[in-house]
């Protein structure tokens, strides 16, 4: 007796076949070969001279030794080649593309071509035409375009949802999904290991975290230390597309899952890497930017409690930074202070934090019963009232307290346990200057703010903040006192801003009302602080820190654009919000809000596959 077996019927998916087409009408295997070959050609061109004269910054006249923009193109070409080889299934490179290689290859090739073509155009424009290009310049342009053409021929793929039998009811489909979930859990327990299937040992994951932090420190140090404008623009192009490529490949999501399993180690390692930054600098030129970035980032993290956790739109938050700075400057021995006292640093720090907390309560008590746009208008008014009041307390329009528009000046440097922050010091053979000293102090303040944010976010009050943010009416119906919870968020956020303001007063020597506008061409101001929270990732720790770093660094480096600086900066923000609306470092809830059902599995996959 014979039995005949038939394969189970599977729903046809003609859409999947038609989706495997690229922008360039070319067979897939040829496009993949062109992307790989073009990347190799581009990489080889970086070892050739791009111009005959050293008048262009970076000295691109040397053979066999890439420099300046050549280094950036070399990195982009190497990334394109590695991703292309991973798409071939080369052993040892499959881990680069856990979510697929085709989309990542497109973005890497686009970033490489953009950087290479920008370099060629910049050389031609600065030196007076394409005649100033050497063979390497023509070769890098041709090679990058070949790689980009091949990458654009690769298919576009989107994750398909699980097939559903149209004859099944909703309950049957639910039971099918539940059975699959039970099978996965059973398989995990059957392995006899405490970690999920497919994950690495703890020591390997810790090594990966160390590598990620080292890479982040290298990228940040390189970006902040770019010596000329053309190099920074090339860095922005390559860094932006490389981040997008690695995110598209699923590698960043995979690394995020590893860091989330070792949060304490990641946090400690991140602060240790940041503490190493001053030792990588030969002078205070870039340590100055570093300390201002930390001040801006710390205040943004405090605002993240108000906006990201509690969902309160505060447009005058920079005023709390000003309150802390003014309060600390008035008791720190400034000759312009009417009090003529000189508190030690710890006392001045407490005064600045307490003053901001008191103002947070005084402003929040009558206004936090408002919601939405009304609350935003009131907080915006508070920010302007603070600035105008500080201008008028000059002894003429009001009491002589803040010295009016001249501000409180000549604030002395800090001295803690005999350590003068205004003098250079030798540590382990490295000379640490004034701004490097304040950088390390501000890093300690940032660590305290991170600890407060993390503990409060995981606490009962933190969960109440999230409940108020999601639906205040429903939260109140469940017994949460909405006004008290919002007032605590306002007070905690203001207190953290006051801590940063205390250090800012000593770093800048002078505190003036013009430093605390709602919007200006340079941070910190309320508009930039809110943008740092939203663009970095609301409700997260790393998001506002990274967002604030970018929003402070980019305008500072784009000053050569003059009147077009804000235009270029605004265009970059629009593009970022278009392609990354949930922020650079989002939490899972916001990823679900901004991605449809088809995208969600790729974005939220725990395995990165």
Give which of 256, 312, 158, 303 is closest to 588, Cα–Cα: 256
Please give the average per-residue pLDDT across 122-126, as a whole number. 91
Per the domain annotation, does 232 fall within a domain? yes
Per the domain annotation, does 182 fall within a domain? no
Tell whether 351 and 464 lie within a shared domain. yes
Tell whether 321 and 441 lie within a shared domain. yes
- At 590 the pLDDT is 60
Prediction pTM value: 0.77
Q: At what angle do helices 229-249 and 251-261 cross, to 10 degrees?
A: 80
Per the domain annotation, does 532 fall within a domain? yes
- For 479, list phi and psi in degrees, rounded to 5: 100, 10
Tell whether 100 and 234 lie within a shared domain. yes
Per the domain annotation, does 146 fall within a domain? yes
> What burial letters (b/e) apply to 574-593, b meaning 16+ CB within 10 Å?
eebeeebebbbbbeeebbbe
Per the domain annotation, does 31 fall within a domain? yes
Tell whether 329 and 215 lie within a shared domain. no
Per the domain annotation, does 192 fall within a domain? no
Per the domain annotation, does 293 fall within a domain? yes
Tell whether 229 and 353 lie within a shared domain. no
Residues 493-535 have pLDDT tens digits of: 899 999 989 988 888 888 888 888 877 666 677 888 888 888 8
Residue whose entry in the numeric block shows the structure tokens 């050569």? 560
Tell whether 578 and 494 lie within a shared domain. yes
Tell whether 338 and 479 lie within a shared domain. yes
Which tokens in the block code for residue 53?
A: 């004269």
Which tokens in the block code for residue 392?
A: 């008028």
Distance between CA 482 and CA 465 in Å, rounded? 9
Tell whether 95 and 214 lie within a shared domain. yes
Residues 320-371 have pLDDT tens digits of: 998 999 999 998 888 888 888 888 888 999 999 999 999 989 888 888 888 7
What is the extent of the structural domain holding 480?
Answer: 279-584
Per the domain annotation, does 8 fall within a domain? no
Please give the average per-residue pLDDT across 539-555, as a whole number. 83
Domain total in the chain: 2
Distance between CA 403 and CA 396 in Å, rounded? 10
Tell whether 389 and 489 lie within a shared domain. yes
- The separation between CA 360 and the C-alpha centre of its own chain, rounded to angstroms, equals 27
Tell whether 213 and 287 lie within a shared domain. no
Tell whether 218 and 321 lie within a shared domain. no
Report the CATH number at residue 488. 1.10.3470
Residue whose entry in the numeric block shows the structure tokens 């967002």? 547
Please give the average per-residue pLDDT across 175-200, as a whole number. 48
Tell whether 238 and 384 lie within a shared domain. no
């Amino acid at each position: 007796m014979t039995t005949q077996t038939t394969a189970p019927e599977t729903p046809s998916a003609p859409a999947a076949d038609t989706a495997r087409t690229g922008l360039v009408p070319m067979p897939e295997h040829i496009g993949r070969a062109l992307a790989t070959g073009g990347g190799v050609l581009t990489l080889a061109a970086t070892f050739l001279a791009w111009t005959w004269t050293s008048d262009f910054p970076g000295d691109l006249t040397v053979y066999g030794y890439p420099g300046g923009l050549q280094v950036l193109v070399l990195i982009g070409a190497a990334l394109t080649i590695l991703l292309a080889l991973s798409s071939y299934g080369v052993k040892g490179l499959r881990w680069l593309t856990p979510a697929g290689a085709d989309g990542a290859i497109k973005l890497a090739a686009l970033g490489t071509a953009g950087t290479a073509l920008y370099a060629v155009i910049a050389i031609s424009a600065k030196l007076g035409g394409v005649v100033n290009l050497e063979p390497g310049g023509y070769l890098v342009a041709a090679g990058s375009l070949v790689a980009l053409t091949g990458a654009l021929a690769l298919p576009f793929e989107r994750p398909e949802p699980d097939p559903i039998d149209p004859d099944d009811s909703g309950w049957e489909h639910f039971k099918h999904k539940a059975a699959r979930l039970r099978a996965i859990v059973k398989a995990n327990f059957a392995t006899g290991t405490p970690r999920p299937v497919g994950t690495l040992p703890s020591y390997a994951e810790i090594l990966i975290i160390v590598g990620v932090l080292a890479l982040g420190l290298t990228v940040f140090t390189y970006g902040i230390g770019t010596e000329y404008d053309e190099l920074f623009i090339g860095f922005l192009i390559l860094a932006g597309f490389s981040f997008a490529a690695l995110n598209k490949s699923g590698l960043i999501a995979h690394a995020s899952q590893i860091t989330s399993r070792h949060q304490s180690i990641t946090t400690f390692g991140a602060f240790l890497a940041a503490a190493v930054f001053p030792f990588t600098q030969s002078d205070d030129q870039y340590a100055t930017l570093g300390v201002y970035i930390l001040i801006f980032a710390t205040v943004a993290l405090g605002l993240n409690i108000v906006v990201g956790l509690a969902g309160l739109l505060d447009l005058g938050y920079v005023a709390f930074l000003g309150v802390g700075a003014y309060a600390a400057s008035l008791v720190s021995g400034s000759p312009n202070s009417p009090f003529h006292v000189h508190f030690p640093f710890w006392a001045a720090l407490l005064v600045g934090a307490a003053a901001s907390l008191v103002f947070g309560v005084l402003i929040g008590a009558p206004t936090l019963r408002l919601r939405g746009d009304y609350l935003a208008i009131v907080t915006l008014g508070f920010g302007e009232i603070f600035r105008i009041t500080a201008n008028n307390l000059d002894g003429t329009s009001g009491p002589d307290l803040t010295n009016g528009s001249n501000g409180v000046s000549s604030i002395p440097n800090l001295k803690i346990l005999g350590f003068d922050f205004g003098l250079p010091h030798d540590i382990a053979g490295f000379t640490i200057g004034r701004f490097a000293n304040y950088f390390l102090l501000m890093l300690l303040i940032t660590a305290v703010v991170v600890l407060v944010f993390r503990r409060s976010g995981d606490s009962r009050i933190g969960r109440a903040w999230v409940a108020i943010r999601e639906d205040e009416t429903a939260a109140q119906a469940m017994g949460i006192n909405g006004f008290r919870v919002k007032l605590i968020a306002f007070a905690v956020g203001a207190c953290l801003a006051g801590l940063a303001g205390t250090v800012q007063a000593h770093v800048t020597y002078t505190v003036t009302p013009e430093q605390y506008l709602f919007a200006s061409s340079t941070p910190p101001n309320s508009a930039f602080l809110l943008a740092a929270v939203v663009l970095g990732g609301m409700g997260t720790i790393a998001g506002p820190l990274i967002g604030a770093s970018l929003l402070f660094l980019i305008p500072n480096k784009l000053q050569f654009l003059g009147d077009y600086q804000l235009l270029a900066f605004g265009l970059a923000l629009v593009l970022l919000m278009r392609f990354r609306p949930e922020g650079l470092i989002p939490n899972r809830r916001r990823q679900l809000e901004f991605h449809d059902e088809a995208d969600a599995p790729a974005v939220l996959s725990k395995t990165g596959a």
